[in-house]
Homo-oligomer: A and B are copies of this chain.
Amino acid sequence: MRFMELSKNYKVLVRYDGSRYGGWQKQTKSPTTIQGKIEAVLEKMCGCPIEIAGSGRTDAGVHANGQVFHFKAAVSLQPDEIQNYLNRYLPEDIAVLSVETAPERFHSRLSAKGKRYVYRIWRSEIPPVFERKYVCNLRKLMPEEKEILPNVAAMKTAAKLLLGTHDFKGFTSLKKTKKSTVRTITALIIEERGPEIVITFEGDGFLYHMIRIIVGTLLEVGFGKRSAQSISQVLENGIREQAGFLAPPEGLCLDAVYYE
């Protein structure tokens, strides 16, 4: 005899290596997405289709240290049993860090107050053996370039111009949209860590491709291909073509999502 379970709202923290996925979001184009993998295991667990909602999409090849999603289901399992079940049946490159019940109104995307992303750049001529799937390797990006050491001081100066609240229309691949492209970047920290340059972004939200275009633009500044000043111009005129190139996905990781 089974008791009828009331539907509950679950908040889940998940980590993944995005290398072999077509991104977070389920889509017809790519059969292998992180959302798809998780929903398949939840369906097996619940005995009926379950839809999960992530705090945001991550592109194909982008990783997450702490992505958040929520889903509603009526199950008799405890949160830690749900976590164990997921970790048992998910592939090795996806791991559930925690499962907790959340208030009915909790929504992983709508309730989010901010996010932190980390972008790792490899600037050494010695190839990144153990880190190769988690960094943007400059030598691979610029095989013919004589040297691959960007001017980090110049990048830091340029980064300051992006801090604060701006219309980032020029820093997104989004086609014309009626939604606001105004966002606030609360932290943009560039650190040198041996063979790596690590760029940490914090803000209330980020547009489609925004971080990867900012990284590409900062790298162009670092390699003397554009002035720091040109960034202010793109912030003003909102012309995507005047911003930098789209940095590759493998260096990017959604580090954390913040809630109240």
Residue ranges of A at the interface with B (Cβ–Cβ < 8 Å): 15-17, 63, 84, 87, 90, 92-97, 125-130, 132, 134
Residue of B nearest to A95 (CB): B127
Name the B residues within 8 Å of A130 (CB-CB).
15, 17, 63, 134
CA distance A86 to B95 in the complex (A): 36
| B93 adjacent to A126 (CB under 8 Å) | no
A-B contact pairs, 10 of them (CB 8 A): A15-B130, A87-B125, A87-B126, A90-B127, A92-B129, A94-B129, A95-B127, A95-B128, A96-B126, A97-B126
Additional 20 contacts, C-beta under 8 A, given A17-B132, A95-B128, A130-B134:
A15-B126, A15-B130, A16-B129, A17-B129, A63-B130, A87-B125, A87-B126, A87-B127, A90-B127, A92-B127, A92-B129, A92-B132, A93-B129, A93-B132, A94-B129, A95-B126, A95-B127, A95-B129, A96-B126, A97-B126
Name the B residues within 8 Å of A93 (CB-CB).
129, 132
- CB proximity of A58 to chain B, nearest CB, Å: 14
Name the B residues within 8 Å of A128 (CB-CB).
95
- CB proximity of A227 to chain B, nearest CB, Å: 32
Name the B residues within 8 Å of A97 (CB-CB).
126
- CB proximity of A253 to chain B, nearest CB, Å: 9
Name the B residues within 8 Å of A125 (CB-CB).
84, 87
CA distance A15 to B16 in the complex (A): 25
Name the B residues within 8 Å of A132 (CB-CB).
17, 92-93
- CB proximity of A123 to chain B, nearest CB, Å: 14
Name the B residues within 8 Å of A17 (CB-CB).
129-130, 132
Name the B residues within 8 Å of A96 (CB-CB).
126
Residue of B nearest to A17 (CB): B129
CA distance A17 to B94 in the complex (A): 21
CA distance A128 to B93 in the complex (A): 8
Q: Which of A87, A90, A94, A130 is packed against the most chain B CB atoms within 10 Å?
A: A130
CA distance A21 to B127 in the complex (A): 18
CA distance A206 to B129 in the complex (A): 25
Residue of B nearest to A96 (CB): B126
CA distance A258 to B93 in the complex (A): 35
Name the B residues within 8 Å of A87 (CB-CB).
125-127
CA distance A125 to B93 in the complex (A): 14
CA distance A16 to B126 in the complex (A): 12
CA distance A128 to B65 in the complex (A): 11
